[in-house]
Structure 1
Amino acid sequence: MAAQKKPLRVGLLYENAQMTDLAGVDILGNISTKNVELIVTMMPEFASYVPLSVPMEFLWISSSTDPASMTSSMLIKPTHTYSDAPRDLDIIMIAGPDPRAVHPESLQFLKEAAKQTKWILTTCTGGMWLAASGVLDGRKATTNRTLLKSSKEVFPKVEWLDQRWVIEKGEFEGAEIWTAGGAGCGIDMIAEFARKNFDNKLVEVALYGLDFHPEGPHGQFYTGPLPTF
Protein backbone atom coordinates (compact mmCIF):
# COMPACT_ATOMS: atom_id res chain seq x y z
CA MET A 1 0.00 0.00 0.00
CA ALA A 2 1.36 3.42 -0.97
CA ALA A 3 2.18 5.79 1.89
CA GLN A 4 -0.45 8.42 2.50
CA LYS A 5 0.59 11.92 1.51
CA LYS A 6 0.93 14.44 4.29
CA PRO A 7 -1.76 17.12 3.91
CA LEU A 8 -0.61 20.48 2.61
CA ARG A 9 -1.62 23.08 5.20
CA VAL A 10 -2.94 26.35 3.77
CA GLY A 11 -3.44 29.23 6.20
CA LEU A 12 -5.74 32.08 5.13
CA LEU A 13 -5.65 35.60 6.59
CA TYR A 14 -8.92 37.26 5.71
CA GLU A 15 -10.18 39.37 8.63
CA ASN A 16 -12.02 42.48 7.34
CA ALA A 17 -10.62 41.87 3.86
CA GLN A 18 -11.85 41.76 0.25
CA MET A 19 -13.74 38.54 -0.40
CA THR A 20 -12.60 38.17 -4.02
CA ASP A 21 -8.94 38.44 -3.03
CA LEU A 22 -9.17 34.83 -1.87
CA ALA A 23 -11.08 33.57 -4.92
CA GLY A 24 -7.92 31.86 -6.15
CA VAL A 25 -8.02 29.48 -3.20
CA ASP A 26 -10.57 27.50 -5.23
CA ILE A 27 -7.82 26.71 -7.72
CA LEU A 28 -5.97 24.95 -4.91
CA GLY A 29 -9.22 23.46 -3.65
CA ASN A 30 -9.91 21.98 -7.08
CA ILE A 31 -6.64 20.01 -7.02
CA SER A 32 -7.20 18.79 -3.45
CA THR A 33 -7.80 15.10 -2.95
CA LYS A 34 -11.17 15.73 -1.30
CA ASN A 35 -12.44 17.66 -4.30
CA VAL A 36 -11.01 15.31 -6.94
CA GLU A 37 -12.57 12.32 -5.18
CA LEU A 38 -15.90 14.14 -5.15
CA ILE A 39 -15.63 14.80 -8.89
CA VAL A 40 -14.93 11.11 -9.49
CA THR A 41 -18.24 10.18 -7.83
CA MET A 42 -19.97 12.20 -10.56
CA MET A 43 -17.54 11.51 -13.40
CA PRO A 44 -15.69 8.19 -12.93
CA GLU A 45 -13.55 8.92 -15.99
CA PHE A 46 -11.54 11.32 -13.82
CA ALA A 47 -10.33 8.52 -11.51
CA SER A 48 -6.81 8.72 -12.96
CA TYR A 49 -6.44 12.19 -11.42
CA VAL A 50 -6.85 10.98 -7.83
CA PRO A 51 -3.17 9.89 -7.48
CA LEU A 52 -2.11 13.31 -8.81
CA SER A 53 -4.26 15.19 -6.30
CA VAL A 54 -2.95 16.86 -3.15
CA PRO A 55 -4.42 16.31 0.32
CA MET A 56 -5.04 19.76 1.80
CA GLU A 57 -6.11 21.29 5.07
CA PHE A 58 -7.41 24.87 5.08
CA LEU A 59 -6.86 26.96 8.21
CA TRP A 60 -8.91 30.15 8.56
CA ILE A 61 -6.98 32.50 10.85
CA SER A 62 -8.36 35.54 12.64
CA SER A 63 -8.02 37.51 15.88
CA SER A 64 -10.63 35.42 17.71
CA THR A 65 -12.81 32.39 17.12
CA ASP A 66 -15.86 34.58 16.49
CA PRO A 67 -17.01 34.69 12.84
CA ALA A 68 -14.85 37.24 11.01
CA SER A 69 -16.23 39.43 8.28
CA MET A 70 -15.13 39.98 4.72
CA THR A 71 -16.65 42.38 2.20
CA SER A 72 -20.31 41.98 1.19
CA SER A 73 -21.15 41.09 4.82
CA MET A 74 -19.66 37.62 4.42
CA LEU A 75 -18.87 35.90 7.73
CA ILE A 76 -16.39 33.02 8.02
CA LYS A 77 -15.86 30.99 11.19
CA PRO A 78 -12.14 30.89 12.01
CA THR A 79 -10.46 27.60 12.74
CA HIS A 80 -7.49 29.28 14.44
CA THR A 81 -6.42 32.57 15.97
CA TYR A 82 -3.19 34.44 15.29
CA SER A 83 -1.92 33.27 18.66
CA ASP A 84 -2.63 29.54 18.30
CA ALA A 85 -2.23 28.98 14.53
CA PRO A 86 0.78 26.85 13.57
CA ARG A 87 3.73 28.80 12.20
CA ASP A 88 5.13 26.00 10.04
CA LEU A 89 2.47 26.08 7.33
CA ASP A 90 3.03 25.14 3.70
CA ILE A 91 1.17 28.11 2.24
CA ILE A 92 -0.14 31.37 3.67
CA MET A 93 -2.67 33.32 1.59
CA ILE A 94 -3.35 36.94 2.57
CA ALA A 95 -6.36 38.89 1.34
CA GLY A 96 -6.53 42.69 1.19
CA PRO A 97 -7.89 44.61 4.21
CA ASP A 98 -7.69 48.27 5.16
CA PRO A 99 -3.92 48.13 5.81
CA ARG A 100 -4.22 50.82 8.48
CA ALA A 101 -6.42 48.62 10.66
CA VAL A 102 -4.86 45.15 10.75
CA HIS A 103 -4.72 43.39 14.10
CA PRO A 104 -1.30 43.72 15.82
CA GLU A 105 -1.24 39.99 16.61
CA SER A 106 -1.45 39.24 12.89
CA LEU A 107 1.85 41.05 12.32
CA GLN A 108 3.62 38.99 14.97
CA PHE A 109 2.14 35.85 13.45
CA LEU A 110 3.46 36.79 9.99
CA LYS A 111 6.95 37.59 11.31
CA GLU A 112 7.16 34.17 12.93
CA ALA A 113 5.40 32.16 10.23
CA ALA A 114 7.50 33.64 7.40
CA LYS A 115 10.55 31.93 8.90
CA GLN A 116 8.92 28.50 8.59
CA THR A 117 6.30 28.71 5.81
CA LYS A 118 7.46 27.83 2.29
CA TRP A 119 5.06 29.97 0.25
CA ILE A 120 3.35 33.25 1.10
CA LEU A 121 0.81 34.56 -1.43
CA THR A 122 -0.77 38.00 -1.09
CA THR A 123 -3.41 39.76 -3.15
CA CYS A 124 -4.23 43.47 -3.31
CA THR A 125 -3.55 45.30 -0.01
CA GLY A 126 -2.57 41.93 1.44
CA GLY A 127 0.88 42.98 0.22
CA MET A 128 0.68 46.02 2.49
CA TRP A 129 -0.51 43.80 5.35
CA LEU A 130 2.59 41.65 4.91
CA ALA A 131 4.78 44.77 4.55
CA ALA A 132 3.51 46.07 7.90
CA SER A 133 5.05 42.98 9.54
CA GLY A 134 8.49 43.83 8.14
CA VAL A 135 8.71 40.59 6.15
CA LEU A 136 8.94 42.48 2.83
CA ASP A 137 11.73 44.84 3.93
CA GLY A 138 14.49 44.74 1.31
CA ARG A 139 12.33 42.76 -1.10
CA LYS A 140 10.43 43.48 -4.30
CA ALA A 141 6.63 43.34 -4.06
CA THR A 142 3.41 44.75 -5.42
CA THR A 143 -0.08 45.64 -4.21
CA ASN A 144 -3.24 47.11 -5.67
CA ARG A 145 -2.04 49.31 -8.52
CA THR A 146 -3.97 52.36 -7.31
CA LEU A 147 -2.11 52.23 -3.99
CA LEU A 148 1.45 51.82 -5.23
CA LYS A 149 2.28 55.48 -4.61
CA SER A 150 1.07 55.44 -1.01
CA SER A 151 2.71 52.03 -0.43
CA LYS A 152 6.06 53.51 -1.39
CA GLU A 153 5.51 56.34 1.09
CA VAL A 154 4.34 54.19 3.99
CA PHE A 155 6.70 51.24 3.43
CA PRO A 156 9.87 52.73 1.86
CA LYS A 157 12.00 49.67 2.71
CA VAL A 158 10.03 47.65 0.15
CA GLU A 159 10.78 47.95 -3.58
CA TRP A 160 7.25 48.29 -4.94
CA LEU A 161 6.87 47.28 -8.60
CA ASP A 162 4.12 48.16 -11.06
CA GLN A 163 3.42 44.53 -12.05
CA ARG A 164 0.39 42.27 -11.86
CA TRP A 165 2.41 40.01 -9.60
CA VAL A 166 5.95 39.71 -8.26
CA ILE A 167 7.88 36.63 -7.11
CA GLU A 168 10.61 37.00 -4.48
CA LYS A 169 12.77 34.69 -2.40
CA GLY A 170 11.46 34.01 1.08
CA GLU A 171 13.18 33.73 4.45
CA PHE A 172 14.89 30.38 3.86
CA GLU A 173 16.19 28.22 1.02
CA GLY A 174 13.36 27.33 -1.36
CA ALA A 175 10.83 29.67 0.24
CA GLU A 176 9.00 32.18 -1.97
CA ILE A 177 6.82 35.24 -1.53
CA TRP A 178 4.30 35.95 -4.29
CA THR A 179 2.53 39.33 -4.17
CA ALA A 180 -0.26 40.35 -6.56
CA GLY A 181 -2.23 43.44 -7.49
CA GLY A 182 -6.04 43.47 -7.28
CA ALA A 183 -8.25 40.38 -7.09
CA GLY A 184 -8.06 39.53 -10.81
CA CYS A 185 -4.28 39.65 -10.66
CA GLY A 186 -4.35 37.39 -7.61
CA ILE A 187 -6.40 34.74 -9.39
CA ASP A 188 -3.99 34.72 -12.34
CA MET A 189 -1.02 34.61 -9.98
CA ILE A 190 -2.37 31.62 -8.09
CA ALA A 191 -3.03 29.81 -11.38
CA GLU A 192 0.64 30.38 -12.28
CA PHE A 193 1.74 29.33 -8.80
CA ALA A 194 -0.26 26.09 -9.13
CA ARG A 195 1.23 25.36 -12.56
CA LYS A 196 4.72 25.86 -11.19
CA ASN A 197 4.35 23.67 -8.11
CA PHE A 198 1.79 20.95 -8.87
CA ASP A 199 0.99 18.46 -11.63
CA ASN A 200 0.26 20.55 -14.73
CA LYS A 201 -2.30 18.17 -16.18
CA LEU A 202 -4.26 18.24 -12.93
CA VAL A 203 -4.02 22.04 -12.68
CA GLU A 204 -5.33 22.53 -16.21
CA VAL A 205 -8.29 20.28 -15.45
CA ALA A 206 -8.90 22.27 -12.25
CA LEU A 207 -8.85 25.55 -14.17
CA TYR A 208 -11.13 24.10 -16.83
CA GLY A 209 -13.54 23.01 -14.12
CA LEU A 210 -13.72 26.62 -12.95
CA ASP A 211 -14.16 27.80 -16.55
CA PHE A 212 -11.10 29.93 -15.96
CA HIS A 213 -8.68 30.62 -18.80
CA PRO A 214 -5.79 32.91 -17.81
CA GLU A 215 -4.38 33.25 -21.32
CA GLY A 216 -4.21 36.45 -23.34
CA PRO A 217 -3.95 39.69 -21.36
CA HIS A 218 -3.87 37.96 -17.97
CA GLY A 219 -0.08 37.61 -17.71
CA GLN A 220 2.34 38.89 -15.13
CA PHE A 221 2.70 42.40 -16.54
CA TYR A 222 0.19 45.16 -17.21
CA THR A 223 -0.50 45.85 -20.89
CA GLY A 224 -0.97 49.62 -20.54
CA PRO A 225 -0.49 52.56 -18.23
CA LEU A 226 -2.53 53.17 -15.10
CA PRO A 227 -5.81 54.73 -16.24
CA THR A 228 -6.93 58.14 -15.02
CA PHE A 229 -9.89 57.90 -12.65
Structure 2
Amino acid sequence: MAPIQFGILAFAYQVLDAVGPTDLLFSANKSTMETLGQYGPIDEDLISRAPEFAFHHIGVTRDAVNLGTSQMTIIPTTIVDECPELDILLVAGPYLGNFELHPKHADLIQRHVAAGKILFTNCTGASLVASTGVLDGKKATVNNVEYEWVRKRWPKVNWTREKKWIIDGNIWTGSGAIAGTDMVAHWIKENYGLDVLIQAAVTLDYEPRDSDGLFNVFPRRFASNGEKVSTHVFRHHAE
Protein backbone atom coordinates (compact mmCIF):
# COMPACT_ATOMS: atom_id res chain seq x y z
CA MET A 1 0.00 0.00 0.00
CA ALA A 2 1.32 3.44 -0.92
CA PRO A 3 2.31 5.73 1.96
CA ILE A 4 -0.20 8.33 3.11
CA GLN A 5 1.08 11.72 1.95
CA PHE A 6 0.86 13.99 5.00
CA GLY A 7 1.60 17.71 4.72
CA ILE A 8 2.30 20.29 7.40
CA LEU A 9 2.32 23.98 6.50
CA ALA A 10 5.68 25.47 7.47
CA PHE A 11 5.32 28.90 9.10
CA ALA A 12 5.83 30.34 12.59
CA TYR A 13 3.62 27.88 14.47
CA GLN A 14 3.43 26.51 18.02
CA VAL A 15 5.78 23.53 17.87
CA LEU A 16 3.63 21.07 19.83
CA ASP A 17 0.63 21.74 17.57
CA ALA A 18 2.45 19.93 14.78
CA VAL A 19 4.90 17.55 16.44
CA GLY A 20 2.36 16.11 18.88
CA PRO A 21 0.11 14.73 16.13
CA THR A 22 2.95 13.84 13.75
CA ASP A 23 5.01 12.03 16.40
CA LEU A 24 1.95 9.92 17.22
CA LEU A 25 1.41 9.17 13.53
CA PHE A 26 5.08 8.27 13.13
CA SER A 27 4.74 5.89 16.08
CA ALA A 28 1.84 4.23 14.24
CA ASN A 29 3.98 3.70 11.14
CA LYS A 30 4.31 0.11 9.96
CA SER A 31 8.08 0.57 9.58
CA THR A 32 8.33 2.00 13.11
CA MET A 33 6.53 -1.01 14.55
CA GLU A 34 8.73 -3.39 12.57
CA THR A 35 11.80 -1.70 14.07
CA LEU A 36 10.37 -1.75 17.60
CA GLY A 37 9.70 -5.48 17.22
CA GLN A 38 13.35 -6.11 18.09
CA TYR A 39 12.69 -4.85 21.64
CA GLY A 40 9.59 -6.95 22.26
CA PRO A 41 7.01 -8.98 20.35
CA ILE A 42 4.44 -7.09 18.30
CA ASP A 43 1.61 -9.06 16.71
CA GLU A 44 2.18 -9.56 12.97
CA ASP A 45 -1.48 -8.95 12.20
CA LEU A 46 -1.29 -5.59 13.98
CA ILE A 47 1.78 -4.61 11.96
CA SER A 48 0.08 -5.63 8.73
CA ARG A 49 -2.79 -3.23 9.47
CA ALA A 50 -0.59 -0.29 10.44
CA PRO A 51 -0.37 2.68 8.06
CA GLU A 52 2.72 4.26 6.57
CA PHE A 53 3.19 8.02 6.31
CA ALA A 54 5.39 10.28 4.22
CA PHE A 55 5.69 13.69 5.87
CA HIS A 56 6.10 16.95 3.94
CA HIS A 57 6.90 20.29 5.60
CA ILE A 58 5.58 22.77 3.08
CA GLY A 59 7.10 26.22 2.85
CA VAL A 60 6.43 29.07 0.47
CA THR A 61 10.18 29.04 -0.18
CA ARG A 62 12.93 26.70 0.97
CA ASP A 63 14.24 29.29 3.41
CA ALA A 64 14.53 28.27 7.07
CA VAL A 65 11.43 28.92 9.16
CA ASN A 66 11.73 30.11 12.77
CA LEU A 67 8.87 28.38 14.53
CA GLY A 68 8.77 30.92 17.35
CA THR A 69 8.51 28.48 20.26
CA SER A 70 11.32 26.32 21.68
CA GLN A 71 13.73 28.47 19.62
CA MET A 72 13.34 25.86 16.91
CA THR A 73 14.05 26.39 13.23
CA ILE A 74 13.10 24.00 10.43
CA ILE A 75 13.97 23.72 6.76
CA PRO A 76 10.93 22.99 4.57
CA THR A 77 11.16 19.65 2.77
CA THR A 78 9.16 21.01 -0.16
CA ILE A 79 7.38 24.17 -1.30
CA VAL A 80 3.78 24.80 -2.32
CA ASP A 81 4.64 24.90 -6.04
CA GLU A 82 6.39 21.50 -5.90
CA CYS A 83 4.42 19.70 -3.18
CA PRO A 84 3.21 16.19 -4.07
CA GLU A 85 -0.51 15.52 -3.98
CA LEU A 86 -1.50 15.25 -0.33
CA ASP A 87 -3.92 12.90 1.40
CA ILE A 88 -3.96 14.87 4.66
CA LEU A 89 -2.95 18.45 5.50
CA LEU A 90 -2.26 19.78 9.00
CA VAL A 91 -2.45 23.48 9.89
CA ALA A 92 -0.93 24.25 13.27
CA GLY A 93 -1.63 27.35 15.35
CA PRO A 94 0.47 30.44 14.67
CA TYR A 95 2.86 31.64 17.33
CA LEU A 96 1.77 35.27 16.90
CA GLY A 97 -1.87 36.28 17.25
CA ASN A 98 -1.84 38.72 14.30
CA PHE A 99 -0.25 36.22 11.91
CA GLU A 100 -1.70 35.99 8.40
CA LEU A 101 -1.37 33.12 5.97
CA HIS A 102 0.70 33.59 2.86
CA PRO A 103 -1.63 33.54 -0.19
CA LYS A 104 0.09 30.40 -1.50
CA HIS A 105 -0.60 28.54 1.75
CA ALA A 106 -4.19 29.79 1.71
CA ASP A 107 -4.64 28.58 -1.87
CA LEU A 108 -3.23 25.15 -0.98
CA ILE A 109 -5.77 24.83 1.87
CA GLN A 110 -8.65 25.80 -0.42
CA ARG A 111 -7.63 23.36 -3.14
CA HIS A 112 -7.07 20.56 -0.63
CA VAL A 113 -10.49 20.97 1.00
CA ALA A 114 -12.24 21.35 -2.35
CA ALA A 115 -10.74 18.01 -3.41
CA GLY A 116 -12.39 16.36 -0.41
CA LYS A 117 -9.09 15.55 1.30
CA ILE A 118 -8.75 15.47 5.09
CA LEU A 119 -7.73 18.71 6.79
CA PHE A 120 -6.56 18.74 10.41
CA THR A 121 -6.29 22.03 12.30
CA ASN A 122 -4.82 22.33 15.75
CA CYS A 123 -5.30 25.12 18.29
CA THR A 124 -5.42 28.56 16.63
CA GLY A 125 -4.76 26.96 13.27
CA ALA A 126 -8.54 26.95 12.84
CA SER A 127 -8.49 30.75 12.74
CA LEU A 128 -6.03 30.69 9.84
CA VAL A 129 -8.19 28.19 7.99
CA ALA A 130 -11.28 30.30 8.71
CA SER A 131 -9.56 33.21 6.94
CA THR A 132 -9.58 31.18 3.69
CA GLY A 133 -13.38 30.76 3.76
CA VAL A 134 -13.38 26.95 3.79
CA LEU A 135 -14.91 26.85 7.29
CA ASP A 136 -17.92 29.00 6.34
CA GLY A 137 -21.07 27.08 7.30
CA LYS A 138 -18.97 24.40 9.01
CA LYS A 139 -18.93 23.48 12.68
CA ALA A 140 -15.47 24.00 14.16
CA THR A 141 -13.56 24.62 17.35
CA VAL A 142 -10.46 26.61 18.22
CA ASN A 143 -8.25 27.39 21.20
CA ASN A 144 -10.63 28.55 23.93
CA VAL A 145 -8.48 31.57 24.80
CA GLU A 146 -9.08 32.91 21.28
CA TYR A 147 -12.68 31.71 21.02
CA GLU A 148 -14.60 35.00 21.42
CA TRP A 149 -12.21 36.93 19.18
CA VAL A 150 -12.43 34.28 16.44
CA ARG A 151 -16.22 33.98 16.71
CA LYS A 152 -16.64 37.71 16.09
CA ARG A 153 -14.06 37.90 13.30
CA TRP A 154 -15.41 34.93 11.30
CA PRO A 155 -19.14 34.80 12.13
CA LYS A 156 -20.00 32.53 9.18
CA VAL A 157 -18.30 29.62 10.98
CA ASN A 158 -20.38 27.64 13.49
CA TRP A 159 -17.84 27.90 16.30
CA THR A 160 -18.26 25.77 19.42
CA ARG A 161 -16.20 25.02 22.51
CA GLU A 162 -18.36 22.18 23.77
CA LYS A 163 -15.92 19.53 22.55
CA LYS A 164 -12.14 19.14 22.47
CA TRP A 165 -12.33 18.47 18.76
CA ILE A 166 -14.96 18.68 16.04
CA ILE A 167 -15.37 16.65 12.84
CA ASP A 168 -17.40 18.20 10.02
CA GLY A 169 -17.02 16.25 6.81
CA ASN A 170 -13.37 16.21 5.78
CA ILE A 171 -12.39 18.99 8.21
CA TRP A 172 -11.20 18.11 11.72
CA THR A 173 -10.52 20.97 14.17
CA GLY A 174 -8.79 20.53 17.54
CA SER A 175 -9.04 23.08 20.34
CA GLY A 176 -5.44 22.99 21.51
CA ALA A 177 -2.06 21.30 21.13
CA ILE A 178 -2.89 18.25 23.25
CA ALA A 179 -6.54 18.13 22.15
CA GLY A 180 -5.36 18.05 18.54
CA THR A 181 -3.11 15.10 19.33
CA ASP A 182 -6.08 13.37 20.96
CA MET A 183 -8.08 14.10 17.81
CA VAL A 184 -5.46 12.43 15.62
CA ALA A 185 -5.43 9.48 18.04
CA HIS A 186 -9.16 9.13 17.38
CA TRP A 187 -8.50 9.16 13.63
CA ILE A 188 -5.95 6.34 14.03
CA LYS A 189 -8.36 4.28 16.12
CA GLU A 190 -11.26 4.75 13.71
CA ASN A 191 -9.20 3.88 10.63
CA TYR A 192 -6.72 1.25 11.87
CA GLY A 193 -8.07 -0.10 15.14
CA LEU A 194 -7.65 0.45 18.86
CA ASP A 195 -4.75 -2.01 19.06
CA VAL A 196 -2.75 -0.02 16.50
CA LEU A 197 -3.39 3.17 18.47
CA ILE A 198 -2.36 1.54 21.74
CA GLN A 199 0.86 0.24 20.20
CA ALA A 200 1.65 3.71 18.86
CA ALA A 201 0.86 5.33 22.21
CA VAL A 202 3.11 2.88 24.07
CA THR A 203 6.19 4.38 22.46
CA LEU A 204 5.22 7.83 23.79
CA ASP A 205 3.90 6.72 27.20
CA TYR A 206 0.75 8.53 26.16
CA GLU A 207 -2.95 7.96 26.76
CA PRO A 208 -5.39 9.98 24.63
CA ARG A 209 -8.62 11.55 25.82
CA ASP A 210 -11.99 11.50 24.11
CA SER A 211 -13.71 14.57 22.62
CA ASP A 212 -15.02 15.48 26.09
CA GLY A 213 -11.49 15.51 27.48
CA LEU A 214 -11.99 12.27 29.43
CA PHE A 215 -9.71 9.23 29.58
CA ASN A 216 -12.28 6.89 28.06
CA VAL A 217 -10.40 5.83 24.93
CA PHE A 218 -8.45 2.90 26.35
CA PRO A 219 -10.17 0.08 28.27
CA ARG A 220 -10.92 0.73 31.95
CA ARG A 221 -10.44 -1.44 34.99
CA PHE A 222 -12.04 -1.23 38.38
CA ALA A 223 -9.95 -0.43 41.44
CA SER A 224 -10.51 -2.28 44.71
CA ASN A 225 -12.92 0.46 45.83
CA GLY A 226 -15.04 -0.03 42.71
CA GLU A 227 -13.93 3.17 40.98
CA LYS A 228 -12.91 3.10 37.34
CA VAL A 229 -9.20 3.58 36.75
CA SER A 230 -7.14 3.88 33.61
CA THR A 231 -5.46 0.82 32.14
CA HIS A 232 -1.85 1.88 31.80
CA VAL A 233 -0.77 1.49 28.20
CA PHE A 234 2.32 -0.55 29.02
CA ARG A 235 0.36 -3.03 31.14
CA HIS A 236 -2.35 -3.26 28.50
CA HIS A 237 0.24 -3.83 25.78
CA ALA A 238 1.98 -6.52 27.80
CA GLU A 239 -1.28 -8.44 28.14
The TM-score normalised by the length of structure 1 is: 0.84
- Cα RMSD (Å): 1.7
Q: Distance in 2 between matches of 1:83 and 1:161?
A: 34
| Residues 2-41 of structure 1 aligned to structure 2 (within 5 Å) | 5-22=1-18, 23-41=20-38
Matched residues, number: 208
Q: 1:9 is paired with a residue of what secondary structure? A: strand
Q: Distance in 1 between matches of 2:3 and 2:210?
A: 30
Q: Which residue of 1 aligns with 2:177?
A: 183
Q: Distance in 1 between matches of 2:117 and 2:166?
A: 16
Shift of 1:209: 2.0
Q: 2:42 is paired with a residue of what secondary structure? A: helix
Give the conservation status (yes or no) of the 8 Å contact 1:90–1:117: no
Q: Distance in 2 between matches of 1:124 and 1:83?
A: 26
Q: Which residue of 1 aligns with 2:72?
A: 74
Give the conservation status (yes or no) of the 8 Å contact 1:11–1:91: yes
Q: Which residue of 2 aligns with 1:227?
A: none
Shift of 1:47: 5.6
> Any gaps of 5 or more consecutive residues in structure 2?
215-239
Q: Which residue of 2 aligns with 1:173?
A: none
Runs of 4+ aligned structure 1 residues displaced above 6 Å come to none
Give the conservation status (yes or no) of the 8 Å contact 2:100–2:128: no
Q: Distance in 2 between matches of 1:200 and 1:220?
A: 16
Q: Which residue of 2 aligns with 1:197?
A: 191
Shift of 1:50: 2.7
Residue identity over aligned pairs, in percent, reads 29
Paired amino acid for 1:158:
V
Shift of 1:19: 0.2
Against the structure 1 CA distance between its residues 212 and 85, is the aligned structure 2 distance closer, same or farther, given a 3 Å change threshold?
same
Paired amino acid for 1:119:
I
| Residues 127-206 of structure 1 aligned to structure 2 (within 5 Å) | 127-162=126-161, 163-169=163-169, 176-206=170-200
Give the conservation status (yes or no) of the 8 Å contact 2:121–2:174: yes
Give the conservation status (yes or no) of the 8 Å contact 1:8–1:54: yes
Q: Which residue of 2 aligns with 1:226?
A: none
Q: 1:100 is paired with a residue of what secondary structure? A: coil
Q: State which structure, 1 or 2, has the greater radius of gyration over its C-alpha atoms.
A: 2
Q: 2:23 is paired with a residue of what secondary structure? A: helix
| 1:130-156 alpha-carbon deviations (Å, 9 max, x no partner) | 111111111010111011111111111
In structure 1, which of residues 183, 204, 208 is the aligned counterpart of residue 202 of structure 2? 208
